[in-house]
Chain A
Amino acid sequence: MDFPVIPSGLATYTLWDTRSPYGGDGAVGRPEVLSGRPREVHGADGGEEGHLVPAASSRGSYDEGMLRAALRPRSLGMLALMVAATVVCGMLAGWQWDRAHRAITERTSAPAELGDVRDVLEIGGVVTNDDSGGIVTATGTYDASQQILVGGRHIDGTDAAIVVTALHLTLADGSEVLLPVARGWVAAEDVTGADGELDPALAPDPPSGEVTATGRLEASEAATDGVEDGIASEISTPLLVNEWGSPMYAGYVAQTSAAEGLQPMPEAESAFSRGLDWQNIGYAAQWIVFGVFFLYLWWRTVRTHHLDEQEAQREALRAALGEETPRPAPGADAPTPAGAPGAAHPQEDADAGTPPAR
């Protein structure tokens, strides 16, 4: 393991420990202090073996100390808690991941037959997730003047425009309601006028008289801009209400049976929608970050405890040597008197160039 970050408290020690007072060769002179006297003391003291040996004098003892700190019952209990938190975060990440892919996965199962759209939808009601994607039939008459082109789609590798027409349905009480029907799609170049813009006049007219359209019920797409000159970017009922009037169902039917002059709508909505929901992908990533953060917190805690313990051991060592405990100077870089016990401090990491006392 490598620990590149020097915690704030530690940075002070390293400054007055080894580097500044002695420069490069200081570290060479001191190993006698380290390898000789402290071990004597620890032998006389009779304390636990690993504890009074200046910690981190080698890589091995640093890792062992960390391991001991990590295996304390309290640390293990905390680890269990953190792992539980991480698992919860992982599950939440999975949930968001599924949500991001829902448009694809849900459509792969066989769609439900829902029957007449008038029995499925209420005027003003929303298309629920359960109903969305189900097959409905709608019988009524198209209004050729209420037709728009929805451009900017890619279907079967072709730049496509979807033809959406208002179907007028008659309810049981004799009132009339509008239902947008995506009758099918055409290649964008077939409906592009001489000026390079989509031209709704080039789209095939709807059949006249009473017709029955069969297709998937879909929720309205979110609008990003309006309907202009019969062109829109989304099949959005809030926009179409403005154009065609109300009452209108808050959803549309994507016709899967072929209409004259048009390609039928693809089986899956994801094939003509804009693909993955990146917002949900982002949320999934955030949950993973949180999960990792909990584990990192645990590791930091263990490390802090370990460093405290090391420092306590050094204090004990200095006390045992019968020398005065040095305090860090305010500036933290004032020279320590040569030969003072502060000099006996080994580096935490091998970042001082010459590692003391191998």
Chain B
Amino acid sequence: MPAPRPLDEVQVRTSFARFRVASIVEGCALLVLCAIMIMRYLVYGGTSHTWEQVSSVWSPIHGLIYMVYVILGFDLWLKMRWALPRMLLLMLFGVVPVLSFFGERWTHESVERELARRPTLQDGER
């Protein structure tokens, strides 16, 4: 197993801060989308013109938010030098309702743990 190259703690923390915001925004956007889908298909059974319109407006916006979430997740994944499955997990967090909030906490813990354990470029400053 190759020795891990050091992490850049400053970059990691910046990336994580961005990812955290994206996680929360994506989580909220997904909940809104779910509410719209419930109104459109469960409450009105697909016959409500209004909810169809609302859904056609919000769906692309949510899609865009998810794209931004994936890009920021990818950035964090790169900086943390994680393995491939972790990226798939980050993407999954964004598509299951409510999970992104827990995923963000779990990711935060991982980041803190690994920054403490793995060598960083900032080690010399301490």
Contact = CB atoms under 8 A, between A and B. Distances in A.
Interface of A: 7-10, 12, 78, 82, 126, 238, 279, 282-283, 286, 293, 297-298, 300-301, 304-305, 307-309, 311-312, 315, 327-330, 332
Contacts of A307: 5
Interface string B1-31: 0111111100100000000000000000000
Contacts of A283: 63
B84 A308 contact: no
Contact of A279 (B4, B60, B67, B123): B60
B43 interface: no
A12 B47 contact: no
B96 interface: no
A283 B56 CA distance: 13
B122 A311 contact: no
B33 to A, nearest CB: 15
B2 A298 contact: no
A8 B125 contact: no
A308 B124 contact: no
Interface string B109-126: 000000000000111110
Contact of A297 (B8, B11, B87): B87
Given A327-B124, A329-B124, A308 B60 contact: no
Contact of B8 (A9, A293, A327): A9
A8 B3 contact: no
A126 B49 CA distance: 11
B105 interface: no
Given A8-B78, A8-B79, A78-B84, A309 B2 contact: yes
Given A82-B84, A301-B83, 8 more contacts: A7-B78, A126-B47, A282-B60, A286-B63, A293-B70, A298-B84, A308-B2, A327-B123
Contact of B84 (A282, A301, A328): A301
Q: Give the bracket for the number of chain B residues in contact with chain A.
A: 20 to 34
Contacts of A327: 123-124
A249 B24 CA distance: 44
A286 to B, nearest CB: 7
A308 B118 CA distance: 14
Nearest to B79: A8
B2 A312 contact: yes
Contacts of A328: 6, 121
A238 B49 contact: yes
A304 B3 contact: no
Interface in B53-77: 60, 63, 67, 70, 74
A10 B47 CA distance: 57
Contacts of A282: 60
B6 A9 contact: yes
A42 B16 CA distance: 41
17 contacts: A8-B11, A9-B8, A78-B84, A126-B47, A286-B63, A293-B70, A297-B84, A301-B83, A307-B5, A308-B3, A308-B4, A309-B2, A311-B5, A312-B2, A315-B3, A329-B124, A330-B125
In the complex, which of the residues B3, B79, B83, B122 has the most CB atoms of chain A within 10 Å of its own CB atom?
Answer: B3
B88 to A, nearest CB: 8
B2 A305 contact: yes
Contacts of B60: 279, 282
A9 B74 CA distance: 16
A9 B3 contact: no
Contacts of A8: 8, 11, 78-79
A312 B81 contact: no
A300 B82 CA distance: 11
Contacts of A9: 5-8, 81
A273 to B, nearest CB: 17
In the complex, which of the residues A9, A10, A238, A279 has the most CB atoms of chain B within 10 Å of its own CB atom?
Answer: A9
Contacts of B84: 78, 82, 297-298, 301
A300 B75 CA distance: 12
A82 B121 CA distance: 32
A328 B3 CA distance: 16
